[in-house]
C-alpha cells in the first residue's frame, strides 16, 4: 500500500535513504513500549514486592503518577519539535534540523499514545495478582458498580467505550489518508515552500481533526471503565492535547494573525457541531474528504491544525500537525 506523502518525506531526508528511514518510527515505537512497560511496572511493583510497605502505600497513586510523567515528557518533546524551528535551523541548518525535530516529535507522540494504551489496561486485573491496597481496588471500580448498578452495566460501558474508540480509530485513519504522512510529520513547518494547496471539508467542521482522535479515545477509556483511574487517564490525555494545541495555535496566530483568529472564531477546536455531524461522518467513511463548490473550504494545510486563507474556513500554508 502506497503511503500518501511518503515520497515528499524521503526527499527531505536524504541522509536516511531506503530502510534507514525506519529509524524514526522504530525509535518512537521503542520509546513508547518502554514507557508502557515503565507504567506497568509502577502499577504492579507493590504486588511483586509484597513485603515493601512504602510500595503498598503508594500503589493507588501509581496509575496516575506514571501516565502523568510520561504525558508531560511526550508533550515537551512534541512542542519542542513544533516551536523550536528557528533555534534548530540556526544550530544545525535546515537539512539536519528537520531529522532532529522529526525524531523528537515522533518520540513525543509515541509517549503520549502509550498513556492511552496504558489506560486500556484494567488496573485491578494486572498480573501477578490483585492490588495490595484497598484504595487501588476502589479507584479501579466502576462508579455504576459503587452505586449498586446490576452486573449488566459492564456491557453498557463496553458498548459506549467501544463506540468512541472505534470512532477514534476511524478518524485517525481518515486523517492520515486525507492529509498525508508528510503533513503529519511536521515536514512543512521546516519546508513551508513545499506545501501544496489542499481542500478538505473537515477543516470547516474541526480545526484539529487528528487531535480529535485523542479526545475520542480518551473519552472511550473513561466510558469503558467509569472509574477514578479511567477519569484520570482521560483528564491527563485531554489536558496534554489542549496544551499542545495552545502552543501550536500561538505560533499560528503569530504567523497568520487576524485571518487565523477569525477562523478560530468560526470553527470549533475539536468538537463536532451537531449541524456538521453529517460532514464528519462522511469524512471518517472516506466519502467527504474534499471540499466541493462554493460552500467548501479551501486553502493550504500542513496537517491537523489549519491556518487560515482569507475568505474561507481553510487550512493555511506551512503549519504543523502531529
Its domain, for residue 292, covers 6-300
- Under the banding of pLDDT at 50, 70 and 90, the label for residue 28 is very high
Q: Indicate if the pLDDT at residue 1 is higher than 70.
A: no
- CA end-to-end span of the chain, whole Å? 22
More confident residue, 125 or 300: 125
Residue 100 lies in a domain: yes
Residue 120 lies in a domain: yes
- The answer, as to whether pTM is greater than 0.85, is yes
DSSP state of 290: B
Residue 313 lies in a domain: no
Residues 153-170 pLDDT 10s? 999 999 999 999 999 999
Residue 312 lies in a domain: no
Residue 62 lies in a domain: yes
- Under the banding of pLDDT at 50, 70 and 90, the label for residue 299 is very low
Residue 321 lies in a domain: no
Residue 306 lies in a domain: no
Place of cell 500537525: 321
Residue 322 lies in a domain: no
Number of domains comprising the chain? 1
Amino acid at each position: 500500500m502506497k503511503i500518501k506523502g511518503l515520497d515528499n518525506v524521503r526527499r527531505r531526508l536524504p541522509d536516511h535513504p531506503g530502510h534507514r528511514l525506519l529509524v524514526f518510527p522504530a525509535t518512537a515505537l521503542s520509546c513508547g513500549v518502554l514507557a508502557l512497560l515503565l507504567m506497568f511496572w509502577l502499577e504492579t511493583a507493590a504486588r511483586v514486592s509484597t513485603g515493601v510497605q512504602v510500595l503498598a502505600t503508594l500503589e493507588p497513586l501509581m496509575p496516575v503518577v506514571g501516565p502523568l510523567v510520561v504525558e508531560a515528557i511526550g508533550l515537551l518533546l512534541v512542542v519542542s519539535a513544533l516551536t523550536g524551528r528557528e533555534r534548530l535551523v540556526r544550530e544545525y541548518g535546515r537539512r539536519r534540523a528537520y531529522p532532529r525535530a522529526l525524531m523528537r516529535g515522533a518520540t513525543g507522540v509515541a509517549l503520549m499514545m502509550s498513556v492511552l494504551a496504558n489506560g486500556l489496561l484494567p488496573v485491578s486485573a494486572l498480573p501477578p495478582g490483585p492490588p495490595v491496597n484497598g484504595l487501588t481496588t476502589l479507584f479501579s471500580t466502576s462508579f455504576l458498580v459503587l452505586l449498586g448498578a446490576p452486573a449488566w452495566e459492564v456491557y453498557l460501558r463496553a458498548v459506549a467505550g467501544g463506540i468512541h474508540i472505534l470512532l477514534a480509530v476511524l478518524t485517525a485513519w481518515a486523517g492520515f489518508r486525507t492529509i498525508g504522512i508528510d503533513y503529519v510529520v511536521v515536514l512543512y513547518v521546516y519546508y513551508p515552500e513545499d506545501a501544496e494547496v489542499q481542500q478538505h471539508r473537515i477543516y470547516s467542521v474541526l480545526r484539529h481533526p487528528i487531535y480529535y482522535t485523542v479526545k475520542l479515545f480518551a473519552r472511550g477509556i473513561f466510558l469503558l471503565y467509569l472509574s477514578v483511574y479511567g477519569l484520570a487517564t482521560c483528564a491527563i490525555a485531554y489536558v496534554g492535547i489542549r496544551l499542545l494545541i495552545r502552543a501550536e495555535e500561538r505560533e499560528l496566530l503569530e504567523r497568520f494573525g487576524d485571518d487565523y483568529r477569525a477562523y478560530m472564531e468560526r470553527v470549533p477546536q475539536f468538537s463536532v457541531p451537531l449541524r456538521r455531524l453529517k460532514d464528519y461522518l462522511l469524512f471518517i467513511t472516506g466519502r467527504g474528504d474534499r471540499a466541493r463548490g462554493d460552500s467548501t473550504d479551501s486553502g493550504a494545510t500542513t496537517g491537523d491544525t489549519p491556518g487560515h486563507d482569507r475568505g474561507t474556513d481553510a487550512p493555511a500554508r506551512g503549519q504543523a500537525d502531529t
